[in-house]
A and B are shown apart, each in its own frame.
Chain A
């Protein structure tokens, strides 16, 4: 290892990097914004996917009675569902039990003591033997006298999947645009350093430095812009996750959100690598243009 060469190279990169601090900051900022968007998008996507899987596998659904349903109607409905061969079990949950369950699920976040009366209807909790049969059982349960509504999560799933595909399309579009913008800003930044160093470059060419040797410091500069931007983005995303995730859990208590669906270290690595890659590619193009003219 020739430390003199390493020192010289790093010195050149550092000199480039500190020459246009303002432009450098702009480039890093743009990369950071892009990566934050990318990270948020990946996060939402994987959460939705996790949610979808979770819900698809649920075989439990609720049959809500009208508020004026008689206990005879409720009993016959229960008997009818219990008799259905596709049903595994049927539990009756009274208004009172329902409220107690809600209290337990939300762990005091929703202040149920403010309620002057119990808004919940009586319901049956039905478990199907197979997730595929939930829709059919729900359809027949709807026809039973005294039943107001049947809520099974497949409805939610269909909507979630629709939302997911819209989000995916919009998100990918936005991210592509931002990646382009970040690339252009980095390549402009590099062009400025190239311009500031055009004498060095012409002398390097004159004394027989290879194209790769001339490019390397600029590529490193772009890469550094990208990696720093990516790192800032990861810090922002982590902060957002730590502060917003608990609030999200509270705000959407009925959704089985699963944070474990995301491989965080991998995501962090991916985001930083993406940042570095934008920077390196943008500067490669930018310096290449200069060397060819």
Chain B
């Protein structure tokens, strides 16, 4: 599903966000990207949805060479993946239903498809009963679930989450992670960038650890901290 080969990203100000990163993520995987702030987790995600282009290296997402993608083809790529952020990015003057529908409306979807898929997405995240509420009336967890519903409404094969629980308390965090897991079980590939140690340690999924723009560990069923030094460096 995702393949990075020798990817480096150097920002115009000279900061080296990613340094020769290679990574393979298979279809249906659930992967945590961990590491301190500023180690390149968000940069890596941004490369995958073509918000930035790498300075060098090859990136393939769902068979699309993202590093070579022409500007006009970006929308086609983005329709195949969903993105979720720490700050939800909901529109405050639209209801939950409208926020989710918005993602379909602006891609020119037919009304009958919208009427079919929006309730399905809201059901999946358990917010069907709050579809008429505005983001201001929601808890953080509900807001994030709305954002997830919006990311999923176009049935993407890949869900990218950048610190999805960064603004949430522990119980909401658990709720969101369980939701992501359920989405993964339905076949969607999920990549979560986080520095929430408790979540990573509890879920025991694949953990890719970044430090200073390099992948330092990559473990199946890993912990946030490399099993306190017992793991092995697979790539980077």
Which A residues fall within an 8 A CB radius of B? 2-5, 8, 199-200, 202-211, 213-214
Q: Which residues of B contact A199 (CB under 8 A)?
A: 89, 91
Alpha-carbon distance between A207 and B156 when the two chains are bound, in angstroms: 10
User: Judging by beta carbons under 8 Å apart, are A3 and B111 in contact?
Assistant: yes
B114 with A4: CB separation less than 8 A:
yes
In the bound complex, CA of A202 to CA of B78 (Å): 12
Q: A207-B106, A209-B75 are in contact. Are A200 and B91 (CB under 8 A)?
A: yes
CB of A16, distance to nearest CB on chain B (Å) = 13
Q: Mark B76-118, 1 if CB is under 8 A from A, else 0.
A: 1111000100000101000000000011011110110010000
| B: contact size bracket | 20 to 34
- Does B150 make an interface contact (CB < 8 A)? yes
Residues of B within 8 A of A213 (CB): 106-108
CA distance A205 to B114 in the complex (A): 19
Closest A residue to B77 by beta carbon equals A208
B49 within 8 A of A: yes
Task: Give per-residue flags for B161-180: 1 if the beta carbon is below 8 A from chain A beta carbons, else 0.
Answer: 00000000000000000000
Q: How far is the CB of A237 from chain B (nearest CB, A)?
A: 39
Q: How far is the CA of A2 from the CA of B105 in the complex (A)?
A: 12
Q: Given the known A-B contacts A200-B91, A203-B89, A203-B91, are A209 and B110 also in contact in the complex, defined by CB atoms under 8 Å?
A: no
**Closest Cβ–Cβ distance, residue B214 to chain A (whole Å):** 28
Task: List residues of chain A with CB within 8 A of the CB of B89.
Answer: 199, 202-203, 206
Known interface pairs A199-B89, A210-B75; A204-B106 also in contact (CB < 8 Å): yes
Query: 13 A-B pairs, CB-CB below 8 angstroms?
Result: A2-B111, A3-B111, A5-B105, A203-B91, A203-B102, A203-B103, A203-B106, A206-B89, A207-B106, A207-B154, A208-B75, A209-B75, A209-B106
Using a CB–CB cutoff of 8 Å, the interface residues on chain B facing chain A are 49, 71-72, 74-79, 83, 89, 91, 102-103, 105-108, 110-111, 114, 150, 154
Q: Which of A3, A200, A209 has the most chain B CB within a 10 Å cutoff?
A: A209
Q: Which residues from chain A contact B105 at a C-beta distance below 8 Å?
A: 5, 8
Distance in angstroms from B41 CB to nearest chain A CB is: 18
Closest to A3 in B: B111
Query: For A8, what are the chain B residues with a Cβ–Cβ distance below 8 Å?
Result: 105
Q: Which residues from chain A contact B78 at a C-beta distance below 8 Å?
A: 205-208
A5 touches B102 (CB 8 A): no
Q: Are A207 and B111 neighbours in the complex by a CB distance under 8 Å?
A: no
In the complex, residue of chain B having the shortest beta-carbon distance to the beta carbon of A197: B91
Given contacts A199-B91, A211-B71, A213-B106, 13 further A-B contacts (CB under 8 A): A2-B110, A203-B102, A203-B106, A205-B78, A206-B89, A207-B102, A207-B150, A207-B154, A208-B74, A208-B76, A209-B75, A209-B107, A213-B107
Set of chain A residues within 8 Å of B110, measured between Cβ atoms: 2, 4-5
Distance (Å) between the CB of B109 and the closest chain A CB?
8
Partner of A211, one of B72, B114, B150: B72
Closest to B89 in A: A203
- The residue in chain B whose Cβ has the minimal distance to the Cβ of A4 is B111
Query: Hey, which chain A residues are within 8 Å of B75, CB to CB?
Result: 208-211
Least Cβ–Cβ distance between A201 and chain B, in angstroms: 10
When distances are taken between beta carbons in the complex, the residues of chain B under 8 Å from A206 are: 49, 78, 83, 89
Task: Sort A-B residue pairs by CB-CB distance and give the 4 closest, nearest first.
Answer: A4-B111, A208-B78, A208-B79, A209-B106
Taken together as a complex, chains A and B put the C-alpha atoms of A203 and B107 apart, in Å, by 11
Contacts of A211 in B (CB 8 A): 71-72, 75
In the complex, A88 Cα to B14 Cα: how many Å? 92
Task: Report the separation of the CA atoms of residues A208 and B64 in the bound assembly, to the nearest whole angstrom.
Answer: 15
Which chain A residues lie closer than 8 Å to B114 at the CB level? 4
Chain B residue at minimal CB-CB distance from A204: B106
B135 to chain A, nearest CB (A): 11
**Residue from the set B76, B103, B105, B114 with the largest chain A CB neighbour count within 10 Å:** B105
Say yes or no: A208 contacts B102, CB within 8 Å.
no
A204 CB contacts on chain B under 8 angstroms: 106
